[in-house]
Amino acid sequence: MPSVFQRHPRYALFSGFIILATFLLLAAQHAPPLEPPSYIDAYVPNPNALESRLAQAEHTYQKMLVDRQGLIQKFGPTSDKVHMFPPDQDPWPPYTVWDFVPAAFTCPHSVERVGALGDGGKWVCGLERVARKRPCVVYSIGINHESSFEAELLSRTAACEVWGYDFSVASFGPEVQDDASLLRRAHFAPFGLSGTDAHGPEDQPPMYTLSSLMSRNGHTHIDILKVDIESWEFETLRALIRPYLEAGEPLPFGQLQLEVHVWGKKFSEFMKWWELLEEAGLRPFWTEPNIVYQNYNRGSSADLAEYSFLNIRGDNAFISDKDSFRPRGGAHSPRD
């Protein structure tokens, strides 16, 4: 006599599905908690795919530049007539300065927050691209007792080293300072970053340009540059960028995590500076307002915003497969 499953195959299929679903649910409940992945053995095999993604991202960004000019014309009609944060008026203009500079470039790799979810963490493009790179050079300028970004970056890469600078503190934050295994790849000095050098005996605090810091450390390239210098980014980046533009050379870093402080800036002044960054090949792929600051200073404008930029010029690790990424056991480049 045929069984119920033979007479009703659909019933058998349904029963099997229920059993499988129950097994998967029980397995998920007992699975270990997820941890941030390690990118030491990441592999990016197809340079043509990378080139194509970068081209598409730039095409999208160029469209945004056209849209920006339309927005300036709409609310200006020229940039000197546009407000950073328009006053309450009738009709009310629905924009702020940040609407003119969206993070319209798409990172061609994974994008993730490195460091704390609150103040201190930064959004990074393609951490896997430098996880095996030797040398892997990171500069972090502006520490302020919080080093969750630097600590996670060090813990998730094999060879990255961090050079930290901040004249307002004496060391990295506890996330790095209290971990001997991380501190071996971290180097700190109480210096400031500026558009001009001032580090003689009478100069306190000592100030260095980025190129001077790099020369001091024997570096010609920085993979990841994090800068938070309380509005001095305008003078500092302007002084840094201009010589490279005049020489027709790419900037000496692969990506930039920057907090932008627009205190007291006029729209036309800000846009001239921002367009200098774009002319040098910097493309923002992520942004977020600094809500912590705005909450602390209730009633103030949203004067601070975090931006992450990719440098699309040169052959840095985020836009070029010059330093190839190979799976475990493969042939290594001379840098490995």
The three-state (H, E, C) secondary structure of the chain, written as one string: CCCHHHHCHHHHHHHHHHHHHHHHHHHHHCCCCCCCCCCCCCCCCCHHHHHHHHHHHHHHHHHHHHHHHHHHHHHCCCHHHCCCCCCCCCCCCCCCHHHHCCCCCCCCCCEEEECCCCCCCEEEECHHHCCCCCCEEEEEECCCCCCHHHHHHHHCCCCEEEEEECCCCCCCCHHHHCCHHHHCCEEEECCEECCCCECCCCCCCCEECHHHHHHHHCCCCEEEEEECCCCCHHHHHHHHHHHHHHHCCCCCEEEEEEEEECCCCCHHHHHHHHHHHHHCCEEEEEEEECHHHHHHCCCCCCCEEEEEEEECCCCCCCCCCCCCCCCCCCCCCCCC
* 34 within a domain of the structure (yes/no): no
- Residue 259 reports pLDDT greater than 50: yes
Give the pLDDT band of residue 69 (cuts 50, 70, 90): very high
- With a cut of 70, say whether residue 293 has pLDDT above it: no
With bands split at pLDDT 50, 70 and 90, how would you rate the model's confidence at 10?
Answer: low
pLDDT at 80: 96
Render pLDDT for 88-130 as a digit per residue (tens, 0 to 9). Answer: 877 778 899 999 999 999 999 999 999 998 888 999 999 999 9
Instruction: Assess if residue 203 is contained within a domain.
Output: yes
- The confidence score (pLDDT) of residue 318 equals 97
Convert the pLDDT of each residue in 75-89 to its tens digit.
999 999 999 999 887
Cβ atoms within 10 Å of 262's Cβ, excluding its own: 22
pLDDT of residue 9: 52
pLDDT of 296 above 90 = no
- Please report the pLDDT score of residue 2 as a whole number: 53
Q: What is the pLDDT of residue 132?
A: 85
248: in domain: yes
Phi then psi for 310, rounded to 5 degrees? -105, 140
68 CB-near residues (< 8 Å, 6+ apart): 100, 101
Q: What is the pLDDT of residue 327?
A: 37
Least confidently predicted of 31-40, 199-208, 258-267, 311-320 = 31-40
| 15-48 confidence digits (pLDDT tens) | 554 555 554 444 444 544 455 555 555 444 555 6
In which band, very low, low, confident or very high, does the pLDDT at 3 lie, cut at 50, 70 and 90? Answer: low
Question: Which pLDDT belongs to residue 191?
Answer: 97
pLDDT class for 295, splitting at 50, 70, 90? low
Asked, for residue 318, whether it belongs to a domain, the answer is no
24 falls within a domain:
no
User: Quick one: pLDDT band at residue 289, thresholds 50, 70, 90?
Assistant: confident
d(CA 159, CA 210): 22
Question: How many separate domains does the chain show?
Answer: 1
Which CATH number covers residue 251?
A: 3.40.50
Q: How confident is the model at residue 282 (pLDDT cuts 50, 70, 90)?
A: very high
pTM of the entire structure? 0.82
Q: Which one is predicted more confidently, 247 or 26?
A: 247
Q: What percent of the chain has pLDDT over 70?
A: 78
At residue 278, does pLDDT exceed 70? yes
Q: Determine the structural domain holding residue 98 and report its residue range.
A: 47-311
- Asked whether 222 and 214 are in contact (CB, 8 A), the reply is yes
Residues in Cβ contact with 108 at an 8 Å cutoff, skipping those fewer than 6 apart: 50, 53, 54, 57, 125, 126, 318, 319
Q: pLDDT at position 297, please?
A: 64
Structural domain contains residue 294: yes
More confident: 28 or 63: 63
Where does the pLDDT of residue 281 fall: very low under 50, low under 70, confident under 90, or very high at 90 and above?
A: very high
Q: Residue 88's pLDDT is what?
A: 80
Question: What is the torsional sign of CA 225, 231, 232, 236?
Answer: positive
Q: What mean pLDDT do residues 196-214 have? A: 94
**237 part of a folded domain:** yes
Query: What pLDDT score was predicted for residue 42?
Result: 46
pLDDT digits (tens, 9 = 90+) for 148-180: 999 999 999 999 999 999 999 999 999 999 999
**Inside any domain, residue 31:** no
